[in-house]
Structure 1
């Protein structure tokens, strides 16, 4: 692993020298933009639109746009003066329970290992946190960006999760189209809860795969081999208008063996589904029967010159 940061964890007056490593990696398949005519890579040029010249990195400074088209400029050393030795420290401010933090706050995970002669202090903090069941909330600066962080134990390693500041989290009240009040059909709710129960299982991350990446890699290998590839169009899915019918069909599709953990007895699940949907199905069936009867009924015919009616079979 490549070291991305070196510093220390501090809690109280204790300092724990650590190295930081990225705990995750991006496995997206990257694509380059290619000129269709000649097959060359498309290059991006840093060009000033006013001077109409290419600009190298030495001629570039950072600027903040405080009004449209007006900037205040900052040299590199000006920004570096804002940092101090504290930026090399992960300073734990509080210890809290992990379940108190909503997952929306989490950004990126890093592993922390002991650095220099900090093994004893590292082990002390790790075991104390493990036994307390608490995680540390800290402040840290990485590449001039200040962030909150959560320090926690993963196996025999300390890990750091960068987390958003509260003012970086948008309120759910800004989401358009949310209902003023949540109202649901009780029968549908019961069946939905049954479906959730049937689908509930311990989390096993190893069973989830990136299907798109696998298909793309397969397509790449076929193209490298010079094979012509035709992708079959996806079949159009039929919209299910009857929510109760959709729930019943879903329950039938996910039935587990009777002895499986969390499974419902086949008869019990089917019976419950039928009982819950009986009223709606009965009403739908009656409406359909009435419609068929009306369609099959003989139509009245008018006699010429009069209003009396006769029927023809």
Structure 2
């Protein structure tokens, strides 16, 4: 398991170093968003609509919109200071009976294991809570979010369940269309209770399965076996694009004579072979640009004598 958090459980004067692991995993089948025309995956780009540029993570800050289009900004350090030192502590405030907590409060479950030399304190807390039948109500900060939590025993392990704050639970009165109190037929009520009794059984989670996921896996396998697939087209290599840009830059550079060389601009536009039969770099660029090929540029030779004018330097990015 991957450690998602490290800190300590604190109750009274007892300090128990622990590591946290996710107790559950999402097994939903993830489907990609594709372009229907060619089958390529769709990219989601962080882009500033005002500056019309893509934004790096280093250029992104968090902000709160207190009015339409008006924000207050927060630096990472400011948010970390709000959490303070307690961000690494699961501080138990009270011990209560588990049956007093409605399941609507529960969010996500984590396993806790002893960290460093905290094994004795860990087992002491586990044994004390197991014998008392109580669970601890604590405060904890995970990823800069403060949560209430319930610390309880599962088999031979301490577990933490994040739970909602009371003001995060919506009132039943907000639910529309709830039936008003009506008179219930006694015979129908008796039959309903009898049916519930007949369907009552001990909870065995292993007998339940995700039918949708099983059916989705079966459908995927059938499509793969029947080759009902779409292959995304290969993207052009960036070095080809860069090469064409370099060729174009070389061509443009060849049209302009070096400063002070005194060459005729008309002659420079159409390069000819040199005395020793070598073709200038601009000639290679012309040939590559006309053919659309990916001709590599040879390194320019050094001039044979200082008297000859130097050819313009070519930069290949």
Same fold (TM over 0.5): yes
**1:169 aligned partner:** 169
**2:239 aligned partner:** none
Q: Is there any run of 5+ residues in structure 2 with no aligned partner, and where?
A: 229-317
Q: Aligned equivalents of 1:182 and 1:3: distance in 2?
A: 53
**1:216 aligned partner:** 216
Q: 1:53 to 1:227 in 2, by over 3 A?
A: closer
Q: Aligned equivalents of 1:209 and 1:25: distance in 2?
A: 15
Residue 194 of structure 2 aligns to a residue in which SS?
A: helix
| Cα deviations by residue, 1:69-104 (Å, 9 ceiling, x for unpaired) | 111111111111212221100000000000000000
Superposition deviation, residue 186 in structure 1: 1.4
| Cα deviations by residue, 1:104-154 (Å, 9 ceiling, x for unpaired) | 000000000000000000000000000000000000000100000000000
Aligned positions, number:
229
Q: Aligned equivalents of 2:80 and 2:146: distance in 1?
A: 13
TM value normalised by structure 1: 0.71
Q: Aligned equivalents of 1:65 and 1:118: distance in 2?
A: 44
Residue 21 (structure 2) pairs with residue 21 (structure 1): yes
TM value normalised by structure 2: 0.71
Task: Map 1:92-111 onto structure 2 (within 5 A).
Answer: 92-111=92-111
Residue 206 of structure 1 aligns to a residue in which SS?
A: helix
Q: Aligned equivalents of 1:135 and 1:226: distance in 2?
A: 54
**2:157 aligned partner:** 157
**1:30 aligned partner:** 30
| Cα deviations by residue, 1:26-48 (Å, 9 ceiling, x for unpaired) | 00000101112222110001111
**1:181 aligned partner:** 181
Residue 162 of structure 2 aligns to a residue in which SS?
A: strand
Q: Aligned equivalents of 2:183 and 2:12: distance in 1?
A: 50
**2:276 aligned partner:** none
Q: Which structure has the larger Rg?
A: 2
Q: Aligned equivalents of 2:154 and 2:49: distance in 1?
A: 50
Task: Map 1:36-185 onto structure 2 (within 5 A).
Answer: 36-185=36-185
Q: Aligned equivalents of 1:183 and 1:206: distance in 2?
A: 39
| Cα deviations by residue, 1:143-190 (Å, 9 ceiling, x for unpaired) | 100000000000000000000000000010110111232432211111
Task: Map 1:140-289 onto structure 2 (within 5 A).
Answer: 140-226=140-226
Q: Aligned equivalents of 2:142 and 2:132: distance in 1?
A: 28
| Cα deviations by residue, 1:51-81 (Å, 9 ceiling, x for unpaired) | 2211111111111011111111111111112
Q: Aligned equivalents of 1:182 and 1:170: distance in 2?
A: 25
Q: Aligned equivalents of 1:183 and 1:122: distance in 2?
A: 54
Q: Aligned equivalents of 2:209 and 2:70: distance in 1?
A: 48
Task: Map 1:6-17 onto structure 2 (within 5 A).
Answer: 6-17=6-17
Of stretches 13-22 and 79-88 in structure 1, the one that deviates more from structure 2 is 79-88
Q: Aligned equivalents of 1:214 and 1:179: distance in 2?
A: 36
Residue 159 of structure 1 aligns to a residue in which SS?
A: strand
Q: Aligned equivalents of 2:179 and 2:35: distance in 1?
A: 48
Q: Aligned equivalents of 2:20 and 2:67: distance in 1?
A: 38
